[in-house]
Amino acid sequence: MAKYMSDEYVAQVQAALMADPKWVESTKSFKSSIAMSVTDLGQSYLLAVDNGTTTFQKAAPGASAEFSLDGTYDSWCKVAKGEVDLQAAVLKGQLRFKGSLPKALMNRDKLTRIAEIMKDVPKEF
């Protein structure tokens, strides 16, 4: 089992997204990127979607992306365990969001699906 927010874990999330018919269909005409940073560990990952193809890999801290979510390992764990959903974590200030809020709201179903897949991939904390 992969450690949460490790390179092995994000590779498994990428594979799970690409194997999810609902995800692939919903992203056929979609292009975006999301930087996810674990601030207290100095880890950053970039999830990129390009017309149905999704990659999720390690990135330099502060990597350029259309959206970014930054938070402590503990905050990310709460989302992964289902203790708080992604939207609530942002609204409560547990995760810091940067990007176009209207575009994020318009694509909330895609962002929610990423969080669901991340929650479902087996992991250890």
Model pLDDT for residues 26-65, shown as the tens digit of each residue? 999 999 999 999 999 999 999 999 999 999 999 998 889 9
- Closest C-alpha among 2, 4, 1 to residue 72: 4
Residue 2 to residue 7: CA distance in whole angstroms: 9
Q: Which two tokens stand for residue 36?
A: 């996810």
> Residue 46: which H helix or E strand, with range?
strand 43-50
Residue 19 corresponds to which amino acid? A
The per-residue pLDDT for range 91-110, each reduced to its tens digit, is 999 999 999 999 999 998 99
Over 90: is that where the pLDDT of 25 sits?
yes
Q: What is the mean pLDDT of the chain?
A: 94
- Give the C-alpha distances (Å, rounded to integers) separating 29 from 26, 47, 52, 88, 107: 8, 16, 7, 27, 12
**pTM of the predicted protein model:** 0.90
Residue 89 to residue 93: CA distance in whole angstroms: 6
Strand 53-58 and strand 67-71: the pairing is unpaired
CATH C-level class of 2-117: alpha beta
Boundaries of every domain in the chain: 2-117
State the pLDDT confidence band at 111, using cuts at 50, 70 and 90: confident
Adjacency order of strands within the sheet including 31-38: 53-58, 43-50, 31-38, 67-71, 95-98
Tell me what percent of the residues of the chain surpass a pLDDT of 90. 88
